[in-house]
A and B are shown apart, each in its own frame.
Chain A
Amino acid sequence: MSNQKIRVVHYLNQFYGGIGGEDKADYRPEERAGVVGPGQALQAALGNAGEIVATVICGDSYFNENLDEALSTVIGMIKKHQPDVVIAGPAFNAGRYGVACGAVAKAITEELAIPVVTGMYPENPGVDMYRKFAYIVQTSNSAADMRKAVPAIIKVVVALGQGEEVSPETHGYMARGIRQNYFHTERGSKRAVDMLIAKINGQPFTTEYAMPHFDRVAPNQPIACAAKAKIALVTSGGIVPKGNPDHIESSSASKYGKYDIAGVTDLTSDTYATAHGGYDPTYANQDADRVLPVDVLREMEQAGEIGELHRYFYTTVGNGTSVNNSVAFAKKFAQELINDGVQAVILTST
């Protein structure tokens, strides 16, 4: 195996595949011979150790909206080239791209038993969803980090391609939560007591079985009857009054907006638009009700289907926005909603 060149197939989204931006996010899977886009840098880092024989490209929206179909097409395209290792991305902090890379990794690993290496920012939703299935090298949150991501990815690719044993500590990928058996020089009971003594003495120690971190919030009681309830609208889809008066950023938002919709019965292309830079804005700019359904809720209010539509909606751009910021936004406005007598929230996401 060691003298053979490692065969690699590379998966990219429409942006890195050079097809186009958000307006091409519905691009269907396509394969190309050899390297495309960041594949050039990956190939350069691979050198003579391996060859990227083909690249498969798929639009992020197409992939996520047609998961089963996109996945089976992409897997078929990859399988044909009989790779030793598959590289996906890196996806940095692009959510849909990270989810696509992770889904490809899961399917390739499970169906073809071929290892998949990718790179993501730790807050990318693809990390938590798919870390068990992929070797995910940690990157920063933007493509500016490509220079560092490439050698980190290739280090894992070469090790896997040459059949070496890999570990998160030596190869620098995020722990997959897979335990391997090995013989330790000291028995478990002694190690446990040593750890306990270290803990009692306030000394550092490393657990051998880290507890998973679950942050779940139990669902609240339902509202008794929508027809009597005051309902508020919240969105991460970036809908703002036209002109974006508070300058909410198109990605990595540092703020949210609160806007008065008293008397507004319809969001029109003259009055509202989206500030979101992570999806094709054409449809939301034509009719923002497609993201924030003010028109139908107003009619339902008139018809008595809901008690009241809250006078303000809250909005931000959920595009690469940090978890810390999102938590801080919602903590603040949730309290306002409660103080204003709101009983339930409809939150829309793009």
Chain B
Amino acid sequence: MVKEIERAGLPVAHMCTVVPISLTVGANRIIPTVAIPYPLGNPLLTAGEEKELRRKLVRRALRALETEVHGQVVFDK
């Protein structure tokens, strides 16, 4: 799906935990996430901390969408 959306003309940020699969599939802007059953959360944190973690990751995705890339880039910072 990532590739078809990109092919249609929209930049896509792919947020996923298993980065090697995303690289194989052909995503260009990749944001590594927390865990397979909760990519954008962490049930061990308090609700407030968890939301902050999610906000940080989503901000990273937005920054990736604002960044010019020429191939596959993993935004891990």
Binding site for B on A (CB under 8 A): 22, 25, 61, 64-65, 95-96, 99, 125, 128-129, 215-226, 229, 231, 234, 236-237, 279-284, 286-287, 289-293, 295-297, 299-300, 305-306, 316, 318, 326-327, 329-331, 334-335, 337-338, 342-350
Interface of A is mostly: mixed
In angstroms, how far is the closest chain B Cβ from the Cβ of A102? 9
Known A279-B36, A345-B12; contact A99-B18, beta-carbon cutoff 8 A: yes
Q: Bound state CA distance, A157 and B30, in angstroms?
A: 38
The answer to whether A222 and B36 have CB atoms under 8 Å apart is no
Q: How far is the CB of B20 from chain A (nearest CB, A)?
A: 6
Q: Which chain B residues lie closer than 8 Å to A237 at the CB level? A: 39
- CB-CB under 8 A for A65 and B22, given A217-B3, A329-B1, A344-B10: no
Q: Is the CB–CB distance between B41 and A220 below 8 Å? A: no
Identify which of A218, A329, A338, A346 contacts B8 (C-beta below 8 A): A338
B77 contacts partner chain A, Cβ-Cβ < 8 Å: no
Residues of A contacting B69 with CB < 8 Å?
219, 222
Which residues in chain B, 63-77, are within 8 Å of chain A measured between CB atoms?
A: 63, 65-71
7 contacts between A and B (CB under 8 A): A99-B18, A128-B24, A236-B1, A330-B3, A334-B10, A347-B12, A349-B15
User: Contacts of A296 on B, CB cut-off 8 Å?
Assistant: 51, 54-55, 58
Are B37's CB and A284's CB within 8 A? Answer: yes
Are the CB atoms of A226 and B11 closer together than 8 Å?
A: no
Q: By the criterion CB–CB under 8 Å, are B17 and A334 in contact?
A: no
> Given the interface contacts A222-B67, A234-B1, A296-B55, does A289 sit within 8 Å of B37 by beta carbon?
no
Is the Cβ of B29 less than 8 Å from the Cβ of A219? Answer: yes
Set of chain A residues within 8 Å of B10, measured between Cβ atoms: 220, 334, 337-338, 342-345
Closest to B25 in A: A125
Known contacts A219-B6, A326-B4, A343-B11, then 18 further A-B pairs from the complex at CB < 8 Å, ordered by chain A residue: A64-B36, A219-B69, A220-B9, A231-B62, A279-B36, A283-B37, A290-B40, A331-B8, A334-B5, A335-B8, A337-B10, A338-B8, A338-B9, A347-B13, A348-B16, A349-B22, A349-B39, A350-B36
Q: How long is the Cα–Cα vector from A229 to B25 in the complex, in angstroms?
A: 26
Q: Are B26 and A346 in contact (CB under 8 A)?
A: no
Q: Are A289 and B43 in contact (CB under 8 A)?
A: no
B contact residues around A282 at 8 Å (CB): 37
A344/B28 in contact, CB under 8 A: no
Q: Is B26 a contact of A327 with CB atoms below 8 Å?
A: no
Residues of A with C-beta under 8 A to B70: 219
Is B11 a contact partner of A222 (Cβ separation < 8 A)? Answer: yes
Shortest CB–CB separation between residue B58 and chain A, in angstroms?
A: 5
Contacting pair A344 B36 (CB below 8 A): no
Are A291 and B18 in touch, CB under 8 angstroms? no
Beyond A95-B21, A223-B66, is A348–B36 a contact (Cβ under 8 Å)?
A: no
In the complex, what residue of chain A is closest to B64 when comparing beta carbons? A222
